[in-house]
Structure 1
C-alpha cells in the first residue's frame, strides 16, 4: 500500500461522516424541490417586481424620491443583512422549522403590503418581508442539499441556481403585467396563494422530517444561543447595505471597519457565527465571492437596462417586462447547462467560460437597438451568469457537512444580496457595456476562487480537490 494511503483513507472516512446519512432518496423529493424553488422564486422576484410599479405606488400613496426608494431598499436591507443569522438559526433549530417560520412571516407581510394605506405601513411590511425571506431562503437551500445526493444534487442545485436569474427577470415582467392590469397591490397579493401552497405542501410531502433537517436532539434547550454572534454581524451588514443604498461613504466605511472588528472578536468567541474549523471554508468563501460577482452583474444589468428601456427609449413598463423574457429563458438554460457540464469539466473551466460568455453579452448590447442589441446581448449575459450561479452554489457547498448547511446557505444568499447592492452602488451611472470589464476580471480570477476539481458523481456529497 502506498505511504499516503492511510491519510487518503482517513480523508474519505471524514467525508463519509460529513455526508448526508440518507442512502435511500426521499420518495417525494422532486415535488418538494418544486415547492422549495417556488418559495425561493417569490423572494427573488420581490426584489425586482416593485421596480416598474413604483410610479403607480407613488401616485397612490403620495410618495416620491427617497420615500419610493425605501419601498425597494427596506426589503433588500433586511433580506441581505439577516441571511447569515437565518442560516445559523436553521442549523440551530432545524431547517424545516426555520423554513416554515420564515414563509409564514413573508406571506403575512405580503398581505400587509397589499393592504397598506400609507407609506409607513408599506415600508414596515416590506421590512418584515425581508426578515421572513432571510429565514426562509437558507433553510430552503439546506433542505435541497439534504434531500438530494450525488448527481441528483447537482441537478437540483442547478434548478435552484436558475431561480436567481429567472426570478429577477420574471419579477420585472410580472410587475409590468400586474401594474398595467389589476393594479400594483396585486404584486403582493400574488404571493398569498404561493405561500399558502408551500406552507401546507412542504410538511405534507415531507412527512416525518429527515434527521438532518431537524435540530440536534436536546440542544435547543441545553445550549444557549450566542445572540452577539448573530446580531453584531447582522448590524454590520445592515449598515453596509444602508451605506451602499444611500451612496454615503461614512456609513459604508464605518460598516467595513465594524465588520473587520467583528471578524477579529468572533474568532475568539466560544460559539462564533462561522466556526474557524468549519469544513470547506476555502471553497465556501470562494464560491460565495463568485456568487457576489455574478449577482452584482445580473442585478445591475436589470437596473441599467430597465432605466434605458423606459427613460431613453420611451417604452412602457409592460414592454420593459417583455424585453426581459429572453433573459429569463437564457438564465434557466445556462443553469441547466452548467449543472450538466460541471461533473465532466470541473468548476474552473465552467466558471471561466461562464463569465467570458457574460462579458461577450454585455459587449453585444452596444451593437444595435432594443431587439437587435440590448435584448440578445442581455440574454447572452444571463446565459453565462446562469452557469456561474451553479458554479458558485455547488462549490460553496461542496465540502460543508449537514451541521453547517444552513450557515453556508446563508453566506451564499448574503453574497447574492450584497453583490447586488455593491454593484448597483458602484455602477449605477455606468453604461451597460461597462459590465464586460468586471465579467472578464472574474473570468481571470476563477482559478483563485473555485476548487480545482469537480463534483464527484459517485459520492453522496460533492467534493473539491
Structure 2
C-alpha cells in the first residue's frame, strides 16, 4: 500500500473534517519525543550508576579504583568516539546511524545488567559509551534536519533541558531503582526504552542524504587514548602524588597523543574534527564554555552523592530525591529561555547562567559536617539547576546557527565531545584535589577542595563567555 493510500485509509474519527490525519513523520511532537528519549537515556547513564555504586561494590567485590573506572569508562568511550560517531552519521545517514546506536546501547545495557564479574560490567559500560557516541551526534543533528525557524529553537530548548538535567535525573532514577530492586535495574531499565525507540525512530524521523567519505580512525584513536591517558594521570596523581612515575608517564603520553591528534586532523582529507570548526569566534567560545561548564557540573554530581550518602547518611532513594530541586529549576528556566533569547540574544543568557552555576559551586566549597540539606545543599542545587538550564540552550543554538545544515553533524559532534570529555576531565581533576586535601581522612575538607576545583572550571567558562562570545540577537 502506498503512502497516499495509507493516508486516505485513515479512520475518519481521527481526522478533522475535510482533512486527513497527518502521517507520523509530520508530527513534530512524536519526532521530538524520539530524539529527546534517546538523549535522556544517554544522559541518564552518565550518573544513574553513581547512586548504585555501593551496591555494585558489594555485589561484585570491586575496589574503589574499580568503581571509579566503571563510571569513567563510559564517559571516556563516549567523549572520545563522539567525533567518529558524527562522521558515521554523515556517511551512513543520520537516521540509520541514530537507530543503530540505540540498538547497540540497548544490547550493552542488557549485558551490564547480567554482569557477574567486574571485568564484564566494565566491558558493558565501555560498549554503552561506544553506542552513545554513535547515536548522540545524530540526535542533535536530526533536530536541525527535522525542525526549522522558531520550531527549531523550541525543540533545542527541550533538547538542552534534557541534556543538562539528564545527569541530575539519573541520580533520582538510580536511587529509585536501587532502593526498589537491585543495582542491575539501572541497566535493565534501558532495554524496554531502547526497544521502543528502535521501532519508532525509522517511522518518524526524516532521512538525510548520505555523503560518501572516509573514517578518520587515526584521529579517533589518538583523541580517545589521549583523553584516557590524561584522566588516568589525574586520578593516579590524586592517589599516589604528583611525583608518581606512572602518573608522569601518563601525562607525557597524553601530551604526545593529543598533539598527534591535532597533527592528524590538519593533514587528513576528511578529519573527524575539522579544525575550521574551532576558528569562528562565537562557535569556539561556545565550545570552550561548554567544556568548562561540564567539567564543573559532572564532577560536582559525583561528590554531591558521596556527601549525601557518606556525610548525611542518606539511602539511595533519599539521595536521589535530593536532586529534585535542581531538576525542577532547570526545566522551569528552560521553558522561558527561548522567549528571552529571542529578545535579548544568546550572550546575556549564557553569561547569567554561568554566573549562577559558578555561585552554586562556590557555595558548596563552604560545606561543613554540621550542615544539613536545607542549610548546605538546597540553595546551591537551585543555583546550579537554573544556571545549567539557562546556559545550555543558547550555546547549542549558537553552534548550530553558525554552520550549514550539511555540517550540523560535525558541529554537534564537537559540541557533545566538549560536553562529555569536559565531564571526564573535570571529574578526574576534582578526584585529584579531593585525594590531596583529604589525606588526613577529612572527607568534607576533601570535598570542599573538589568543589573549589569545579568552581575554577565554571569561572573559566564565565570569562570566555563574557570576554569572547559576542553573538548578536
TM tier relative to shorter chain: 0.7 to 0.9
Is this contact kept in 1: 2:84–2:216, CA < 8 A?
no
Contact 1:290 1:449 in 2 (8 A): no
Q: 1:171: which partner in 2?
A: 170
1:346-361 mapped onto 2 (5 Å cutoff): 346-361=345-360
Residue 373 to residue 227, structure 1, CA distance change in 2 (3 Å): closer
Moved over 6 A (4+): none
CA distance in 2, matches of 1:81, 1:245: 18
Whether 1:427 and 2:427 are equivalent positions in the alignment is no
SS in 1 for 2:46: helix
Are the aligned partners of 1:73 and 1:245 in contact in 2 as well (CA < 8 Å)? no
1:232 to 222, 244, 252: 222
Distance apart, 1:100 and its partner CA: 1.0
Map of 1:458 onto structure 2: none
Q: Quick check: 1:291–1:415 contact (8 Å CA) kept in 2?
A: yes
Instruction: Confirm or deny: 8 A CA contact 1:283 1:398 kept in the other structure.
Output: no
Distance 1:291 1:224, change over 3 A: closer
Q: Does 1:108 align with 2:98?
A: no
* Aligned residue in 2 for 1:273: 272
- Secondary structure of 2:116's partner? coil
Please state if 1:215 is matched with 2:210: yes
145-154 or 423-432, which moves further after superposition? Answer: 423-432
Q: Which runs of 5+ in 1 are unaligned?
A: 1-24, 455-465
Q: CA deviation at 1:364?
A: 4.3
Q: Which residue of 2 aligns with 1:8?
A: none
Per the TM alignment, residue 78 of structure 1 is displaced from its structure 2 partner at its CA by 0.8
**Secondary structure of 1:450's partner?**
coil
Aligned partner of residue 50 in structure 1, secondary structure: helix
Aligned-residue offset at 1:76: 1.3
1:393 to 389, 396, 406: 396
Q: Which runs of 5+ in 2 are unaligned?
A: 1-23, 238-246, 435-446
Q: Which moved more, 1:169-178 or 1:280-289?
A: 280-289
User: How far does residue 33 in structure 1 lie from its aligned partner after superposition?
Assistant: 0.9
Task: Decide whether aligned partners of structure 1 residues 438 and 225 sit closer, same or farther in structure 2, where only a CA change above 3 A counts.
Answer: closer
Q: Which residue of 1 aligns with 2:191?
A: 192
Instruction: Determine the C-alpha separation between the residues in 2 that align with 1:277 and 1:127.
Output: 30
| Residue 55 to residue 146, structure 1, CA distance change in 2 (3 Å) | same
Distance in 2 of aligned mates of 1:291 and 1:274: 17
Match of 2:322 in 1: 323
Per-residue CA shift, 1:374-416, capped at 9, x if unaligned?
A: 1222121221121111122112222111222112111111111
CA distance in 2, matches of 1:244, 1:450: 30
Change (3 A) 1:56 1:224: closer
- Residues 226-265 of structure 1, C-alpha deviations (whole Å, 9 max, x = no match): 4334433333334334444545343234223321233134
| C-alpha distance in structure 1 between counterparts of 2:154 and 2:296, whole Å | 24
Output the CA distance in 1 between the equivalents of 2:265 and 2:169.
39
Q: Which residue of 1 aligns with 2:28?
A: 29
Residue 458 of structure 2 is aligned to residue 439 of structure 1: yes
How many residues of Structure 1 are paired with residues of Structure 2 in the alignment? 421
Residues 164-208 of structure 1 show CA distances to partners (whole Å, capped at 9, x for unaligned) of 2321111111111111111111111100111011101111223xx
- The RMSD of aligned alpha carbons is 2.3
The 8 Å contact of residues 78 and 131 in structure 1, kept in 2 or not, is answered as: yes
Q: Could you tell me how far apart the structure 2 residues matched to 1:263 and 1:279 are?
A: 12
Q: Check 1:252–1:86 CA distance in 2 against 1; reply closer, same or farther (3 A cut).
A: farther
- Which position in structure 2 is the counterpart of 1:139? 138
Distance 1:290 1:202, change over 3 A: same
Query: TM-score, normalising length from structure 1?
Result: 0.84
Change (3 A) 1:242 1:135: farther
Cα distance change of structure 1 residues 373 and 30 upon mapping to structure 2, 3 Å threshold: same
Q: Does 1:406 align with 2:409?
A: yes
**Conservation of the 8 A alpha-carbon contact between 1:89 and 1:406:** no
For 2:55 and 2:87, the matched residues in 1 are separated by: 38
Residue 279 and residue 264 in structure 1: after superposition, are their counterparts in 2 closer, same or farther (change >3 A)? closer
Please state how far the C-alpha of 1:361 moved relative to its aligned partner: 2.8
